[in-house]
A and B are shown apart, each in its own frame.
Chain A
Amino acid sequence: LAKTTQPISMDSYEGQEVNITCSHNNIATNDYITWYQQFPSQGPRFIIQGYKTKVTNEVASLFIPADRKSSTLSLPRVSLSDTAVYYCLVGDWFSGGYNKLIFGAGTRLAVHP
């Protein structure tokens, strides 16, 4: 399982775009990159998943360079409710195995008024 490295914390202000970068130097060919969001005393919530290039959904974008050794979660125009911990995970989703997820430390994002 590829290890991930993220900034421990980030601060932003309402309305700004936030980019959180995750490093995963030993990502394997079959690995996908997945981001989860967690609020205090709640289970993690899926945000976005990708394999390469760019993925966009209604809440975020995920940018993955060609070498796939890093990825960047982009949150457009954050609000106070985006204050949470964001986890980047890397794993093989196709192997047919049980695909356990190993969480790193995550990035604690604080959005200020």
Chain B
Amino acid sequence: GAVVSQHPSRVICKSGTSVKIECRSLDFQATTMFWYRQFPKKSLMLMATSNEGSKATYEQGVEKDKFLINHASLTLSTLTVTSAHPEDSSFYICSARDRQPPVETYEQYFGPGTRLTVT
């Protein structure tokens, strides 16, 4: 099946610094990627939809100036957490939808996640 990778898998940063997380579709093209965050024992919360070549669409309550999303190509989207604070510590997961999925397959592929810890 299609593979989505994330880098880094875990990162620790100091409060006030910025962190960039990459999401790549390895063997397919994705015009749309999604970013989620997940707190311990909680469900995934959609943060934003990343569209190749255009501005991201953010869900209500998600600060677009704090969570910068760039979808520069059909295989790469990045999430930058700016001026990170301890409350931004979370598990960040991306997903991607195949631009040209196989017939009868309407699946979104998820990355392995990135564990962010802000100290």
Contact = CB atoms under 8 A, between A and B. Distances in A.
Interface in B34-61: 34, 36, 43-46, 49, 51, 57
B81 interface: no
A41 B108 contact: no
B97 to A, nearest CB: 6
Nearest to A92: B106
Interface residues of B, number: 26
Contacts, number: 58
Contacts of A99: 32, 97, 106, 108
Interface stretch (A14-22, A69-77, A103-111): A103-111
Interface of A: 32, 34, 36, 41-46, 49, 87, 93-94, 98-106
25 contacts: A32-B106, A34-B106, A36-B110, A41-B115, A43-B4, A43-B6, A43-B93, A43-B110, A43-B113, A44-B44, A44-B95, A46-B1, A49-B107, A87-B43, A98-B49, A98-B51, A98-B57, A98-B97, A99-B106, A100-B49, A101-B34, A101-B46, A102-B46, A103-B44, A103-B46
